[in-house]
Structure 1
Amino acid sequence: MKALVKLSQIPFLCLLLILTSCSNDDGTVEPPQKIDNIVETAQSTADLSSLVSALQKADESADNDLISALSGDGPFTVFAPTNAAFADLLAQLDGYDSLDDFNTQELQNLLATILTYHVIPGVGALSTDLSDGQTLTTLQGSTLEVSTQGGVFIGDATTSNSEVTAANVETSNGIVHIINKVLLPQSILDTLADIILVPITDLAIGNENLQNLVAALTAANGDLPTVLRGTGPFTVLAPTDEAFTTFLDGAELGDIPVDVLTNVLLNHVIDGALFKSDLDGLGSGYTKTMATGAEDKNISIFFDTSDGVKFNGASSVATPDVKALNGVVHVVDAVIDLPNIVDHALANPNLTSLVGALTQGGNMTFTDLLSDEEESFTVFAPVNTAFDAFTNPNSNDLNAILSNHVVVGAAAFSSGLTNSYVTTAAEFDTDENLSLYINTDDGVKLNGTSTVAIADIVATNGVIHAVDAVIDLPTVVTFATADPNFSTLVQALTELTPSTDFVSVLSAQDGNGDDPFTVFAPTNAAFDALTAIPAEADLIPILQHHVVAGANIRSGDLTANGDTVTPATLEGDTFTITLPGTNENIADVTDGAGNMGIGIDAVDVQAINGVIHVLDKVLLPDTTN
């Protein structure tokens, strides 16, 4: 059985073909008949269902009868917004989620005003009848302007034109052109001024106290105004005119290089919408702006809501939560300059102890160093509670301790950290920089004692990682206990040799023992290669054979292309180091017993009381002497 099909379900073009083929009994062919009027055409078009709903909602007011009017004789030209266009309009109206919210006679009449602004009475104009610059008078009474540059565009009272996406839909009483935006007359913009949301750029243009910001956006990267008209959402921290005047300090916007000005402005833009309630809920912390800093990473910005809302300790929110179509604007009382390492430390109240330590007694060494924009830094910054807990058990110099938290010449982000050694700004004997061991097996731990609590605080000249403990100057014991590759060595030095206090001996510093030490440290794999770890009596001299006392022998002290005989070890024997090594060894070692094929795999792990070189086999002393 053939299914019955409603006439309205037959595609429009097919229907025309059917009607064209119809003839009278006498064989004459009748002209095609236009069956659907404008309203019926909209009802049968899925992408115009919101328009139909809007007509029905407007007609709930006794003042309106739009459906009957548009079903009448006409002719009319109708610009019909799609469902997406109505969704965009609702997104612009603060507090209106659907057409059902137009539930009073006043709102229904406003909706009727909008709809009649889409109707040109008295003419059924095809696209070929429209010309560039043409003005059309609407049923609502205001005018629309036509542009045919690159398509067909219809301009309303807003700054954004609609585009005709499907033209020339013929009906029995006029022509329908489908458009991608709901058209708004000036009267509607004036009436809904308090609730209609515009893009952030247009919001700034319309605010008389943000004209310097508008000028800066124009003077900077030409794409910025367009970006801030984009989809977003964005959070924009908008400095007032007075804030810009203070920032410029007599200079002109043109005096600032375009790339710098662009980055400063982007430092006021956050990806995503952050309302004051969101910030209050978080209390304080970091987010990222769209400005770029070290290694082209997005710069961090610190917010604190303990007393209002303040950004980077310098700019307070004067007017929060100015809603825009594509985000939210907070008007701020100061321009937020691009922060370097020092600026970030000063902005965060959790780092006041660090700042106090860095500047103690008027010391400017660290602030000058870490403000250098020509250098890159990684700073492991102890929080206040870390300083409170630190007792400085070895009475080390505070400046040296602080230097041990700074890596110069690289911005090391958490994503790039691995189990490895880096070199800090702290020094051994004024000429060799100390090492720092980073372990990423469980979070990020430094020298086995300090854990990164907040990672990747991005500045213009580097990155800060906030840590939960002060990193004291390391001894050779520090590295042995921090590096899991030396766990068997640590076991051998402690629980397997209880009669000898190796830890105390190798922790001596500042000449209070046999320091400095040069330690040749076997890895766990080196011990695994032994048939068995010897008993204590035999193990003690073996361990002593790995330590040279009274000397900090670095790889640069070895004889290039030759053999170096070490000073006597704590056990009494010497051994020989040949540089360069064979295979993948940095150097080869012949131990006191004459065993060869021992490799040095890593060199110059520098502590405050000596240096460590890493061995792939255990050294054995001469047991015959």
Structure 2
Amino acid sequence: MKALINFSKLTLLIFALIFTSCSEDDNGITDPPPEESSNIVEAAQATADLSSLVSALQKADESANNDLISALSGDGPFTVFAPTNAAFADLLAQLDGFDSLDDFNSEQLQDLLATILTYHVISGTAAMSTDLSDGQTLTTLQGSNLTVSTDGGVFIGDDTDADAQVTTPNVETSNGVVHIINKVLLPQTVLDELAGILLVPITDLALGNENLENLVAALVAADGDLPTVLRGAGPFTVLAPSDAAFEAFLDGAALGDIPVDVLTNVLLNHVLEGELYQADLEGLGSGYSNTLATGAGDQQMSIFFDTSDGVSFNGVSSVEAADVKALNGVVHIVDAVIGLPDIVDHAAANPNLTSLVAALTDGGNTTFTDLLSDTGEVFTVFAPVNSGFDAFMNPNGNDINDILSNHVVVGAAAFSSGLSNSYVNTAAAFDTDEPLSLYINTDDGVTLNGMSQVAIADIVATNGVIHAVDMVIDLPTVVTFATADPNFSTLVTALTELTPSTDFVSVLSAQDGNGSDPFTVFAPTNAAFDALAAIPAEADLIPILQHHVIAGANIRSGDLTPNGDTVTPATLEGDTFTITLPGTEGNIADVTDGAGNMGIGIDAVDVQAINGVIHVLDAVLIPDTMN
């Protein structure tokens, strides 16, 4: 036995020398092959890419039972399959708790390492690659067999399911030949000893767990490629439902009763990219991650985790056993299957949105839950967090259902990457049938109507996307849009600082018939004011501003006479002006003001507020100064 051990050490040393002879130096120049007078150990010592092999030989020889270096320096002949440094690094990555060869720090582990190394040595022959044939069986110094495959190269099969490839063949030495390979070979005896620490891919881990049989069956039933995906490099975090969890999910049904595409997406909703251990989740407290499932807009589905009481996901599934480490990630066994969340599910799962959920369902109201659970429609929801509700005083006494509707965009899943300075329509309405507008500004984060900012973006559900916001978005007046849109900053200055004797803000903020509302406002942009030779003094500016406002009417573009001229009702200044639809030179419509100036363009229409509507002008309207 001592002779065999010594011989094993010699074999390992030969591998190390051979690898060293074929490596690259610090300048990237490949080392020349060793002289044939060098034995296997000397060749390995001279090869940089076999330094791990040399270290392994030395570590194994720390046990009194082994003398591998001397053995592999002997007469031979030997055939040695020598793993590279990368191959040893891959082996260490598969061993839970092993960071380097120094972790083989006991006699038992050093003897185990010697067993691995002697499994790479064939004694009594120096077999060149041309001597190896497809299907050939080689008996190693360790006593177990290796299998040769020559299909597409030279491959050496061990007792695992992955063969090693010969990357550099036929490195001749004085006592044998070395073939450099890209994997450490493992015999079944070693695999049995390493069973408690040898990491396997996530799929193989599930196959070996008696409590995950239903998960394995579901993976096969859903998509034949899913087990292969979970054998990939990853890393993944897998939330693995127990057998009891699957039984509750199926509720008497069979896996075959669930459409394959649905089952596949449900299973992918349990797979997260990257490794998230329990300590990582607890360090974060709560938040969102993305799964491999597909949600609205073909985006990765969001999943909410909360560690305030154990570790739970989407408020429906808790971790029973955490941190089951695998070769390509980590598995947490959970007590419930995590379904595909719609917008209502996501809102209900997040404790920071309890005030919103309470408002949506107050008094048994199901209007919003029915709407936002509709899988036949898509939505964008701007969801105020609890602190936003706490701070909201509802200064205008607006109906809370209308306010909530103003946070919902129907018919589009608007993700943060696609947002820009623009107006969208919400589910809230003026006079029941005209959708209110919402102004989105992305100059500094995402701000809505100039008052509420997006705190958490892109919470992806099956039927849309949620953006958590820090304030409740009240129903907008025409003043709201004027102050929120930076294109109207000069107009706002004109209505306030330049005309202090007239309280335009109070006039144009009236709603519910408490003033001259509703208003139709024709709003000049900053560029329109810049085109003036100078902004008039207050006495002349007041009638000009009044000439842009029609009181008592909400005139939308659809109310204009198509292919003709529409004479507006009198403005606050007293004059009328004319709108011609369609416009010319790219204008939506053309305007002739009270002074008879023509060529004024309407560039945007129907910015709808709760107390009126705004149309955007490219020039300032001038009233008739002769009357």
Asked if the contact 2:565/2:581 (under 8 Å) is kept, the reply is yes
The residue number in structure 1 matching 2:514 is 512
The residue number in structure 1 matching 2:414 is 412
Matched ranges for 1:233-252 at <5 A: 233-252=235-254
The residue number in structure 1 matching 2:12 is none
The residue number in structure 2 matching 1:323 is 325
Q: Which amino acid aligns with 2:81?
A: F
Of 106, 122, 125, the residue aligned with 2:108 is 106
C-alpha change, 1:102 and 1:547, in structure 2 (3 Å) is same
Matched ranges for 1:596-607 at <5 A: 596-607=598-609
For structure 1, which segment, 126-135 or 48-57, has the greater mean C-alpha deviation from structure 2 after superposition? 126-135
Matched ranges for 1:132-147 at <5 A: 132-147=134-149
Matched ranges for 1:366-385 at <5 A: 366-385=368-387
Distance 1:449 1:574 in 2: 34
Aligned residues: 598
Q: CA deviation at 1:209?
A: 1.3
The residue number in structure 2 matching 1:314 is 316
Distance 1:159 1:220 in 2: 24
Of 63, 82, 97, the residue aligned with 1:61 is 63
Q: Which amino acid aligns with 2:355?
A: S
The residue number in structure 1 matching 2:6 is none
Distance 1:75 1:115 in 2: 17
Q: Percent identity?
A: 83
Q: CA deviation at 1:181?
A: 1.0
Distance 1:343 1:304 in 2: 15
Distance 1:45 1:217 in 2: 45
Matched ranges for 1:329-348 at <5 A: 329-348=331-350
Distance 1:207 1:152 in 2: 35
For structure 1, which segment, 181-190 or 161-170, has the greater mean C-alpha deviation from structure 2 after superposition? 161-170
Cα deviations by residue, 1:401-448 (Å, 9 ceiling, x for unpaired): 111001111111112111111111111111110000111111111111
Q: Which amino acid aligns with 1:602?
A: A
Distance 2:155 2:336 in 1: 41
Distance 2:460 2:19 in 1: 61
Runs of 4+ in 1 over 4 A off after TM superposition: 8-12
Q: Which amino acid aligns with 2:464?
A: G
For structure 1, which segment, 204-213 or 436-445, has the greater mean C-alpha deviation from structure 2 after superposition? 204-213
The residue number in structure 2 matching 1:19 is none
C-alpha change, 1:323 and 1:591, in structure 2 (3 Å) is same
C-alpha change, 1:231 and 1:244, in structure 2 (3 Å) is same
The residue number in structure 1 matching 2:524 is 522
Q: CA deviation at 1:584?
A: 1.8
Q: CA deviation at 1:40?
A: 2.8
C-alpha change, 1:187 and 1:354, in structure 2 (3 Å) is same
Cα deviations by residue, 1:91-118 (Å, 9 ceiling, x for unpaired): 1112222212222222211110111111
Distance 1:444 1:345 in 2: 20
Of 596, 601, 605, the residue aligned with 1:594 is 596
Q: Which amino acid aligns with 2:618?
A: D
C-alpha change, 1:69 and 1:280, in structure 2 (3 Å) is same
Matched ranges for 1:352-363 at <5 A: 352-363=354-365
Distance 1:333 1:479 in 2: 49
Q: Which amino acid aligns with 2:141?
A: L
The residue number in structure 2 matching 1:472 is 474
Secondary structure of the equivalent of 1:209? Answer: helix
Distance 2:237 2:86 in 1: 24
Q: CA deviation at 1:190?
A: 2.2
Q: CA deviation at 1:348?
A: 0.4
Of 386, 402, 405, the residue aligned with 1:403 is 405
For structure 1, which segment, 489-498 or 472-481, has the greater mean C-alpha deviation from structure 2 after superposition? 489-498
Of 41, 44, 59, the residue aligned with 1:42 is 44
Q: CA deviation at 1:11?
A: 8.2
Cα deviations by residue, 1:85-140 (Å, 9 ceiling, x for unpaired): 11111111122222122222222111101111112233333334444444333222
The residue number in structure 1 matching 2:428 is 426
Distance 1:60 1:167 in 2: 30
The residue number in structure 2 matching 1:26 is none
Q: CA deviation at 1:285?
A: 0.7
Secondary structure of the equivalent of 2:211? Answer: coil
Secondary structure of the equivalent of 1:392? Answer: coil
Q: CA deviation at 1:207?
A: 1.5
The residue number in structure 2 matching 1:623 is 625
Matched ranges for 1:177-188 at <5 A: 177-188=179-190
Asked if the contact 2:20/2:43 (under 8 Å) is kept, the reply is no
Matched ranges for 1:512-551 at <5 A: 512-551=514-553
1:197 maps onto 2:199 in alignment: yes
The residue number in structure 1 matching 2:437 is 435
For structure 1, which segment, 279-288 or 42-51, has the greater mean C-alpha deviation from structure 2 after superposition? 42-51
Q: CA deviation at 1:214?
A: 1.9
Distance 1:317 1:499 in 2: 66
The residue number in structure 1 matching 2:117 is 115
For structure 1, which segment, 147-156 or 300-309, has the greater mean C-alpha deviation from structure 2 after superposition? 147-156
The residue number in structure 1 matching 2:28 is none
The residue number in structure 2 matching 1:24 is none
C-alpha change, 1:192 and 1:10, in structure 2 (3 Å) is closer
For structure 1, which segment, 79-88 or 501-510, has the greater mean C-alpha deviation from structure 2 after superposition? 501-510
Of 264, 267, 272, the residue aligned with 1:265 is 267
Distance 1:10 1:126 in 2: 19
For structure 1, which segment, 432-441 or 196-205, has the greater mean C-alpha deviation from structure 2 after superposition? 196-205
C-alpha change, 1:254 and 1:123, in structure 2 (3 Å) is farther
C-alpha change, 1:346 and 1:65, in structure 2 (3 Å) is same
CA RMSD of aligned residues (A): 2.0
Secondary structure of the equivalent of 1:302? Answer: strand
Matched ranges for 1:200-215 at <5 A: 200-215=202-217
Distance 2:132 2:625 in 1: 106
Q: Which amino acid aligns with 1:623?
A: T
Distance 2:41 2:127 in 1: 17
Cα deviations by residue, 1:316-348 (Å, 9 ceiling, x for unpaired): 111111111222111111111221111110110
For structure 2, list consecutive stretches of 5 or more residues without a partner in the other structure.
Answer: 1-17, 23-34
Distance 2:130 2:321 in 1: 50
Q: CA deviation at 1:511?
A: 1.7
Q: Which amino acid aligns with 2:415?
A: F
Distance 1:91 1:66 in 2: 24
The residue number in structure 2 matching 1:23 is none
The residue number in structure 2 matching 1:170 is 172
Distance 1:326 1:224 in 2: 14
For structure 1, which segment, 558-567 or 326-335, has the greater mean C-alpha deviation from structure 2 after superposition? 326-335
Q: Which amino acid aligns with 1:244?
A: F
Matched ranges for 1:6-85 at <5 A: 34-85=36-87
